[in-house]
Amino acid sequence: MSRSSEPIFNVPAIVLAFVAAFVLVWAGEFLLLTDEEEIAFLFDFAFIPARYDASAGGAESLPGGFGPEIWTFITYGFLHGGALHLAVNSIFFLPFGSAVARRFGTARFVGFFVVTVVAGALAHFLTHRGDVQPMIGASAAVSGLMAGAMRFAFQPGGPIATFRRADPDSYRVPALRLAVAWRDVRVVVFVLVWCAANLVFGIGGLGLQGEEQSVAWQAHFGGFVVGLLLFSWFDPVPTTST
């Protein structure tokens, strides 16, 4: 097998399409829109918890109408606050998204993205009731993809074990049941490191979206937990119990 045909160097088309969408949306927003148009764009496509707070006027106090109440649970995941925010999310989206996409296929991958990004919005809403600060970024989906990849990447014959051989079958090894996966020290260490990093960047205030924006770490946890728990709903490969 030639190096150029190895899966590790071939990013699935659906993953490239998502990253291209992230880049195009960011470029269009920051290069083509005026300040006033950018604000209107955020009202229409960013996730704003206050939109669902009846005591604060809810959607009636924000422009956009009924549509943003529905689609912003997903569209916020395509917006980014700056070049660094976009770059970091894209860098993590490429490897973890590729691993999951090779296993799930296009339709299941898109469904998994939607579920995890919606979970991130819900987690953010529950912890920021009435907040008028827009939330943007694909980090919740990235977190869900990391959790999903974790379910099979450490398995014998999985992507990590066959990294140098880049065997396509390594992305289709049976995943362990979640209760059994916690017995693997590598899984536990992965989760602990992920949690610590998110708490440091979130609670510690080390944001990537600009000095005036904080990291929505609760959304990351929402995406990660749902990606971990609902992985089997999308997984086409039978799960093993050992």
Please state the rounded mean pLDDT for residues 143-172.
80
Going by C-alpha positions, the residue among 144, 164, 157 that lies closest to residue 96 is 144
| Sequence ranges of the domains in the chain | 3-234
Question: Residue 32: how many CB atoms within 10 A of its CB?
Answer: 9
Q: What is the predicted pLDDT for the residue at 94?
A: 96
β-strand partners of 222: none
d(CA 201, CA 216): 9
| 182 sits in which H/E element | none
Q: Kindly report, residue by residue over 88-127, the tens digit of the pLDDT.
A: 999 999 999 999 999 999 999 999 999 999 999 999 999 9
Question: For the domain with range 3-234, which CATH number is right: 1.20.1530.20, 3.10.20.30, 1.20.1540.10, 3.30.1490.20?
Answer: 1.20.1540.10
Res 136 pLDDT > 90: yes
Which of 163-167, 178-182, 227-231 is most confident?
227-231
pLDDT exceeding 70 applies to what percent of the chain? 82
**pLDDT-derived band of residue 2, with 50, 70 and 90 as boundaries?**
very low
Higher pLDDT, 164 or 16: 16
**pLDDT-derived band of residue 52, with 50, 70 and 90 as boundaries?**
confident
Helices (H), the chain: 13-32, 35-45, 67-75, 83-104, 106-127, 139-153, 178-181, 185-202, 217-234
Please state the rounded mean pLDDT for residues 39-57.
84
Q: Kindly report, residue by residue over 206-229, the tens digit of the pLDDT.
A: 444 444 456 788 999 999 999 999
What predicted TM-score, i.e. pTM, was given to this entire model? 0.87
β-strand partners of 47: 135
Phi, psi of 176 (to 5 degrees): -75, 150
124 within 8 A of 135, measured Cβ to Cβ: yes
